[in-house]
Structure 1
Amino acid sequence: MRSATSILAIAMGAACLRAAHAADVFAHFMVQNSYSYEQSDWENDITTAAGIGIDGFAYDYEVGQLVTAFSVAEQLGFKLFFSFDMSYSWSSDDMVALVQNYSTSSASYKWNGDILVSTYSGETYGESFWADFKSTLAGEGITISLAPAFTSYRDPDDADSLMSNFTSINGFFNWWSWPADVDANLTTATDLAYQAIVKSDRTGPYIMAVSPWQFKNLNTTDNDWVEYSDTLWHYLQAIQDVQPDIVEIVTWNDYAESHYIGDINPKVNLGTYAPNYVPKFTHGAWRNVAQFFISWYKNGTEPTDDQVVFWYRVWPKDTVCCCSLEPRNYEFPEDAIFAIALLSEPATIQMNIGSSASSWDAPAGHSIGSVPFPTEDAQIPRCGRGLCEH
């Protein structure tokens, strides 16, 4: 199965509302995909992100690009905060040095006057590691607000134990923006439980993750999966139910996991297997949807808009390719084209593909529909030289 998405947008005019805001939106930036970046690449990514209302990037770990990234962000009024990928080996001293070096940058994002620091994972390092990290920085005159994504904390019933086990953390980032290996839509249960405990006990931000997709196919038994994502980008509406302090889009540029909303930078080395399902699959139109919901989140009013954005996988889920293993949950995706309508007034949306047709009565605002793949199409990729051709 090849579950990469192809996205097209039919734009019929847009008029998103703009105003001062009291909420911030970040996109998770995989800095290991910026090894070959020059200043112009940073300028392009930051300008594109800011253009849809994103306030900054959560920056994971590539030290070699820090100077350029912060310099460009300072020039463009963009924000950055460290989100340490703790699945790699980190020493507290190295992390302290990085935060300290950029603590005075105008691009360093602050939560209530304190430098925000987040993570991917890191609970296995233990409470003493994080307490020492914070106290060492405090000894240097730097106060941080620590809001990690401790990824083993997903069950709503574990929210209390998170706080009792980690007394040093100030907030929390719920990384889980996809369903957990189930053929069902994501719910807000985890967000609401952890948000409640943060607000009752700590002073840091509650960060809610949102994501458009989750698919990875790197030809290994433990690294090939797809989560139910067909309507996941419409889950952006849940921001209104949760009202988090910060929204973090996962991701701007994680190409291998297929949830990137930034443009594909041709300089990036995609490795061995991601080139089979990333090149030419532009996800830029997902930014149209993001802009709509970001504006709503920041301004408190659903925007007036008129556009339809649609996306689809280019192969049926039962397609067998000669070059990779069957990804976990391959049976979850539907063989269909999906569309989000963002409308200023009610309309009937008609979708047709071959002999397959579908329609729905769309209200003003946002709604979603789909049309199945036509059964008469033999949509089977050609395989050659061990790789499936596009």
Structure 2
Amino acid sequence: MFALPLAAAVIATVKALSTSAQIVVAHFMAQNSYSYDANDWTNDITTAQGIGIDGFALNIAMTDYEVDQVATAFVAAENANFKLFFSFDMSYSWQAADVVSLVAAHASSSAMLMYAGGVLVSTYSGEANGDVFFAGIKSSLASEGITITLAPAFTTYRDPSLANSLLSTFPSIDGFFNWWSWPDDVDTTLTTDTDIAYRNAAHTRKGPYIMSVSPWQFKDIDANDNWVELSDTLWNYRWLQAIQDVQPDIVEIVTWNDYAESHYIGDINPNVDLGTGAPNYVDGFPHAAWRIIAQYYIQWYKTGTAPTVTDDVVVFWYRAHPKAVTCTGGWPVRMSTFPADAVFALSLLSTPATISLDIGSTHAQFNGTIGASIGSVNFPVEDAQIPFIQIIRAGTTVKSGYGSVYVTESCSWYNFNPFVGVIQ
């Protein structure tokens, strides 16, 4: 398997942050930390750090249990030389004084991520509060001797033509976080038009431009929250966009643990209360193997050179049901015609090989080159089939394995969340 020893990953992280080189963080839903103890935080931090992630953007929604959990997180991060910063979830109601209090409480922590001479502060949404709200926060913190670098994710700013008006409307912001890492309810892949426009705008300030990179987007928890975006190959091409086209100051992986929206790359913590809807499509659908792909692309992003693969691996992902089936539970999903009924596979190879993909009577193969290659095989006509994947070199199968979830035409919940597995 492609992997960096943990010590090497830590060294790479320290170098990146000390030289203001490219930084990689993961969006962490503090709302899902209710049942956490110090060990949970340490485990998540160590796991993230092991693949080259430098820190967590703590999505905090309210001044409730999350405040105490964040304090525990900072202690764990300090011990691990890991970074944290606040991403205030402005879809909830925040008082400026509470924002100031939380930032001030942790501004001096060695774990706080600094950027351009200030404490990095971000948001999810918040533009409805207006510039006066954010300018007041900066002023109040400045009066306490704390400078912040404000890079919010104002989610209504997605149209590239609005990038310049963002700056004139919000003179208080120092950078920008583009939350949008999925196609905009369309059956086409995502372009970098938004990234380029807002990166250029952000770079007229002291920065940073934060680009989101995400593997998936699906949700089905009630009659109003049910959708899927075209994400079939997103985890591959979005990383390439970041590395080859946009070259942002910070990559923010969306997300580490937002289980309900199916874009988690962290392990599914069994102690987290997922509510009543999400467990129906999250339980039994691990995404841990996506971290192998992340590790490869993180190193490439940080060094500017595609890593050398020394151990062949194939990461694969697929849904458990064809998109046209009718399920007995959940809600019919918007944009459900967009995803392909297929098994997707990304190979990381030391030398070229054929990647063979079989499911039922359906066969496909692709030529895996040195480094990363991607291919797919369509779902079969037969019911209740499971993928079989082989790495074949010079006519000999060198590695092979099966998926762990059958593709069936019967389902108890509408589920567009993929199972992610690995051949290694």
Both proteins in one fold, TM over 0.5: yes
Q: Does 1:52 align with 2:51?
A: yes
How far 1:113 sits from its partner (Å)?
2.2
Cα distance change of structure 1 residues 332 and 28 upon mapping to structure 2, 3 Å threshold: same
Structure 1 residue aligned with 2:409 = 380
Given candidates 210, 217, 222, the residue that maps to 1:207 is 210
Give the Cα–Cα distance (whole angstroms) in 2 for the partners of residues 323 and 310 of structure 1. 27
Letter in 2 for 1:28: H
> C-alpha displacement at 1:162, in angstroms?
0.5
> Structure 2 length normalisation: TM-score?
0.85
Could you list the structure 1 runs, at least 4 aligned residues long, displaced by more than 3 angstroms after superposition. 13-21
CA distance in 1, matches of 2:206, 2:148: 11
Q: Secondary structure at the match of 1:95?
A: helix
Cα deviation for residue 177 of structure 1 reads: 0.5
Name the structure 2 match of 1:183.
187
Q: CA deviation at 1:253?
A: 0.2
1:14 to 1:102, Cα distance in 2 relative to 1, 3 A = closer
Shift of 1:15: 6.4
CA contact (8 A) 1:171 1:203 kept: yes
The whole-number CA distance in structure 1 between the counterparts of 2:300 and 2:233 is 19
Q: Distance in 2 between matches of 1:325 and 1:224?
A: 7
Amino acid at match of 1:122: G
Q: Which runs of 5+ in 1 are unaligned?
A: 1-10
Native 8 Å contact 1:35 1:64 kept in 2: no
SS of residue paired to 1:163: helix
One-letter code aligned to 2:22:
A
Matching residue's letter, 1:208 = M
Distance 1:315 1:30 in 2: 28
CA distance 1:103–1:383, shift in 2 (3 Å): closer
Matched residue pairs, number?
374
Greater relative contact order (CA < 8 Å, ≥ 6 in sequence): 1
1:263 aligned partner: 267
Which residue does 2:351 correspond to in 1? 345
**Residue 60 of structure 1 aligns to a residue in which SS?**
strand
Counterpart code for 1:134: K
Question: Which position in structure 1 is the counterpart of 2:299?
Answer: 295
Name the SS for the 2:358 alignment partner: strand
Q: 1:160-175 to 2 correspondence within 5 Å?
A: 160-175=164-179
Residue aligned with 1:126, SS: helix
* CA distance in structure 2 between the partners assigned to 1:134 and 1:381 by the alignment: 54
* Structure-2 separation of matches of 1:255 and 1:317: 20
Question: Which region of structure 1 is more displaced relative to structure 2, 136-145 or 341-350?
Answer: 341-350
* C-alpha distance in structure 2 between counterparts of 1:57 and 1:335, whole Å: 33
Q: Distance in 1 between matches of 2:27 and 2:246?
A: 20
Q: Distance in 1 between matches of 2:308 and 2:325?
A: 40
**Are the aligned partners of 2:180 and 2:212 in contact in 1 as well (CA < 8 Å)?**
yes
- Offset, 1:363: 2.3
Q: Is contact 1:57-1:80 (8 Å) kept? A: yes
Paired residue type of 1:202: R
SS at match of 2:282: coil
Is 1:77 the equivalent of 2:106?
no
CA distance in 2, matches of 1:265, 1:198: 36
SS of aligned partner of 1:277:
helix
Deviation at 1:382, TM superposition (A): 5.1
Please give the per-residue CA displacement for 1:306-336, whole angstroms capped at 9, x wherever unaligned.
3210000011111211222211101111110
Match of 2:198 in 1: 194
> Where do 5+ consecutive residues of structure 2 fail to align?
61-65, 385-407, 420-424
Alignment correspondent of 1:335: 341
Amino acid of the structure 2 residue aligned with 1:352: D
Aligned residue among 206, 222, 227 for 2:229 = 227
Please name the residue that 1:4 is paired with.
Answer: none
Contact 1:173–1:207 (Cα < 8 Å) also in 2: yes
Using structure 1 for the length normalisation, give the TM-score: 0.93
Does structure 2 retain, via aligned residues, the 8 Å contact 1:336–1:373? Answer: yes
Amino acid at match of 1:48: T
Q: Is the 8 A contact 1:14 1:304 kept in 2?
A: no
More displaced 10-residue stretch of structure 1: 296-305 or 245-254: 296-305
1:15 and 1:304 in contact (8 A); partners too = no
Contact between 1:28 and 1:248, CA under 8 Å: does it hold in 2? yes
**Does 2:215 correspond to 1:238?**
no
Task: Give the partner amino acid of 1:34.
Answer: S
SS in 1 for 2:128: helix
- Give 2:196's aligned amino acid: L
> How far is 1:187 from its partner?
1.1
Asked if the contact 1:339–1:369 (Cα under 8 Å) also holds between the matched residues in 2, the reply is yes
The C-alpha deviation readout for 1:120-147, integer Å capped at 9, x for no partner, is 0000000111111111111111000000
Check whether the contact 2:100–2:137 (CA below 8 A) recurs between aligned residues: yes
Identity %: 60
SS in 1 for 2:382: coil
CA contact (8 A) 2:3 2:292 kept: no
Question: Separation in 2 of the partners of 1:376 and 1:102?
Answer: 57
Change (3 A) 1:195 1:375: same
- Residues 71-92 of structure 1 show CA distances to partners (whole Å, capped at 9, x for unaligned) of 0000111100000000000000
Checking the alignment, whether the CA contact within 8 Å between 1:15 and 1:303 is kept in structure 2 is no
Equivalent residue runs for 1:96-107 within 5 Å: 96-107=100-111
**d(CA) in 2 for partners of 1:15 and 1:252?**
19
Letter in 1 for 2:170: F
Q: Secondary structure at the match of 1:25?
A: strand
Task: Render the CA deviation track for 1:330-376: whole Å, top value 9, x for unaligned.
Answer: 11111100011122333222211111111122222222110001112
Q: Is 1:115 matched up with 2:119?
A: yes
375-384 vs 272-281, which moves further = 375-384
